[in-house]
Amino acid sequence: MTWRQRRVSLGFLSVAVAVILATSGARGGNRVAVPDPSIMLPVAPGGAEAPAPPVIKPGTRLTYFGMTATIPGAYGMLVQDDEGGWIDKRTGKRYREEDVSGSGSAAFNVVYVGHVGNGVAVLSNRIYGLNTAIQKSTLGPTGGLVGHAGCAGDYWIHPDVLRQVQEVNTQGVRILRMPYTVAGKTYKAIRFQSDDLSGYNAHVYDLETGLMIFYGSRIQGPSVITPPLGGAGMAGMGEGSSQVVTGWIVEVKDIDVLWKNAAPPKWIDEFQQLSYKGVQTSEVAAATTRLDRAMTGTLTPKARGPGWVRFTNRFLFESLPGMPPNDAIQEGACGAATIGGLWIAPEALANLRPGQVIETNEKVGTTTTVSEVRPDAVTISEVGPLHRNDCTYDKKTGMLSATTLVQQIGLAKITHSLRLTGQQ
C-alpha cells in the first residue's frame, strides 16, 4: 500500500483555487523552489510562504494507520483472448471468462522530519505492512520528499494558512470547518473534499496544529463486460471494481535524534553519485531452497540545499541468462536529523555507544539502536517483529557504507545486502 501522494481532482483544485484567490487574494513572490511541491498548495497557496507549524521540528515523527480495499462491482467478466471459449457472433472476437475478486491490506505509514529551515522541510517515510492474521508488521516501501516548510506533502498545512481558507459547499467541492473525531479524540478541523463520477477524495486537518488527521478516497474502476446470464444469450455490462483508501493519525512524537544538531559533512554538497553492490537472497527453509541474485544500487542527487539532499536510488537485479536485469526506482531525501539516512556526521558517530536506543515505535513494534561500534564504522539497526534493517556508517566520512535488510515474508526470508563500492 503506497499512500504518497494521493491525487486531488483537477476540478476540485481549480474551483477551490478560484474561490480562495477571489476572497483572500494571492500573496507575494517569496516562495522557495522545492523539488516536491505539495498537492495541497492549490487549495492552500499560502503554505508555500509560511514557516513550519510549531508542532514540526527536526526529529518529529508522525505515525498513520491506513487500510485499502478493492471491492468488486461484478464477480465475473469477459477478457479478449484468441483462445477463449466465448465468441462475439457479430465480430468473431473470442473471450475468456475470469473471476473478479476483492482484496484488502493494512499498513502503518511512519513519517520522519529530517530537516526544517530556509523555507523547506525534508521528510522520509516508511511503509510497514501489517499482517492482520498475526498482528505483526514488516518494513516495506520507503521514500522521501523535500517540500515547503509550511505545507509539506499532504501531511500538514500551517494553521495560520488554514485560518485564511474560505469555506466552500458547491456541487463536487466542499471545504468545511467541523468537529472531527479520530481514534477517540475530537479535533477542531477543516475538511477538503471533492466528489465526481469517479469517486471522492478527502483530507482533514487539525486547525490547531495544521496536521493531517484523516484522509480517504474511493476510485471507481471502468465498467467490465460480463458473461451472459445462465450461460447463453447476450453479454452484459457490469460495474468495475472500486478502490477504497482510508487512514488516520495515531501518534505524534518528537525523537531526540542524537546527531540532529551536527553539521553535514562537506561531501554532501559535492558528490554526484554513490554506487553500491551486493546480493538479494531468497530462502525458504521448509523447502530447503535458496536463490541468490546479484544486485546494484546507484544513488544520484536530484536536488540539494543547506543541510539536505533529495536523491533517487536505482536498483538493478540480476535476471535469467540472456534477459535484461530487473530494476526498481526509489525516491529518497535526507537531512541532519534523518534516521537511517545517507549520512551521520563524523563527530556525532564518535559519540555513539553500543546499545544506545535511538527510538522506539510501539505502534509499529520497532526499536532502533546502536548495534555495533567498530574502530572504523558504526551500525544503526532497526528491529521489528518480522524484519531487521542495519545501516553502517564510515566513521571518517559519515557516509552510509553498507546496508542489510532481512525480511520474513510468509515462509520466505528475503535478504538485501549492499556495500559502497564507488563515489563520484
For the domain that residue 319 is a member of, what is the CATH number? Answer: 2.40.128
Q: Left, alpha or beta for 231 (phi > 0: left; psi -120 to 50: alpha)?
A: left
- 225 and 326 inside one domain: no
- 66 and 150 inside one domain: yes
- 294 and 240 inside one domain: no
Distance CA 15, CA 10 (A): 8
- 226 and 288 inside one domain: no
Distance CA 198, CA 220 (A): 5
Q: Is the CB of residue 185 less than 8 Å from the CB of residue 210?
A: no
The pLDDT, as a whole number, for residue 230 is 67
At 393, which amino acid appears? Y
- 58 and 130 inside one domain: yes
Residue 362 buriedness (CB in 10 A; 0-12 / 13-18 / 19+):
exposed
Distance CA 123, CA 41 (A): 17
In a domain, 337, yes or no: yes
pLDDT digits (tens, 9 = 90+) for 20-29: 333 333 344 4
- Backbone phi, then psi, for 267, in 5-degree steps? -65, -20
Last residue of a domain, one of 254, 275, 292: 254
In a domain, 36, yes or no: yes
Lookup: cell for 382: 532497526
**Percent helix, strand and coil across the chain, each to the nearest 5:** 10, 55, 35
Last residue of a domain, one of 254, 280, 310: 254
Lookup: cell for 245: 483508501
- 271 and 246 inside one domain: no
In a domain, 20, yes or no: yes
The DSSP line for 354-386 is TT-EEEEETTTTEEEEEEEE-SSEEEEEEE-SS
Q: Please, which residues have CB within 8 angstroms of residue 277's CB and are 6 or more apart in sequence?
A: 294, 295, 296, 297, 418, 419, 421
In a domain, 198, yes or no: yes
Selection from 254, 415, 423 nearest residue 342 by Cα: 423
- 84 and 30 inside one domain: yes
Domain count, the chain: 2
Place of cell 477463449: 84
> Per-residue confidence of the chain (424 residues) as pLDDT tens digits?
233 334 333 333 433 443 333 333 334 445 688 999 999 999 999 999 999 999 999 999 999 999 999 999 888 999 999 988 888 888 899 999 899 999 999 999 999 999 999 999 999 999 999 999 999 999 999 999 999 999 999 999 999 999 999 999 998 999 999 999 999 999 999 999 999 988 999 999 999 999 999 999 999 999 998 988 766 778 888 888 999 999 999 999 999 999 999 999 999 999 999 999 999 999 998 889 999 999 999 999 999 999 999 999 999 999 878 888 999 999 999 999 999 999 999 999 999 999 999 999 999 999 999 999 999 999 999 999 999 999 999 999 999 999 999 999 999 999 999 999 999 9
Q: Left, alpha or beta for 365 (phi > 0: left; psi -120 to 50: alpha)?
A: left
Residue 247, classed as helix, strand or coil, is strand
Burial of 170-193, coded b for 16+ CB within 10 Å and e otherwise, reads eeebbbeeeebeeeeeebebbbbb
- What is the C-alpha end-to-end distance of the chain, expressed in Å? 34
Range of the domain at 26: 10-254
Last residue of a domain, one of 227, 254, 281: 254
Distance CA 310, CA 288 (A): 41
In a domain, 260, yes or no: no
In a domain, 1, yes or no: no
In a domain, 3, yes or no: no
Strands 86-87 and 326-335: unpaired
How big is the CA angle at 84 (ends 82 and 86), to the nearest 5 degrees? 120
Distance CA 367, CA 113 (A): 18
- 344 and 195 inside one domain: no
At 61, which amino acid appears? R
CA torsion 243-249-255-261 (nearest 10°) is: 70
In a domain, 213, yes or no: yes
Selection from 219, 222, 186 nearest residue 204 by Cα: 186
pTM for the predicted model, two decimal places: 0.89
- 98 and 53 inside one domain: yes
- 64 and 195 inside one domain: yes
- 234 and 270 inside one domain: no
- 215 and 278 inside one domain: no
Distance CA 68, CA 71 (A): 10
Place of cell 546527531: 259
Q: Is the CB of residue 43 less than 8 Å from the CB of residue 192?
A: yes
Count the alpha carbons within 13 Å of 111 in the hemisphere toward its beta carbon: 28
Lookup: cell for 204: 482533514
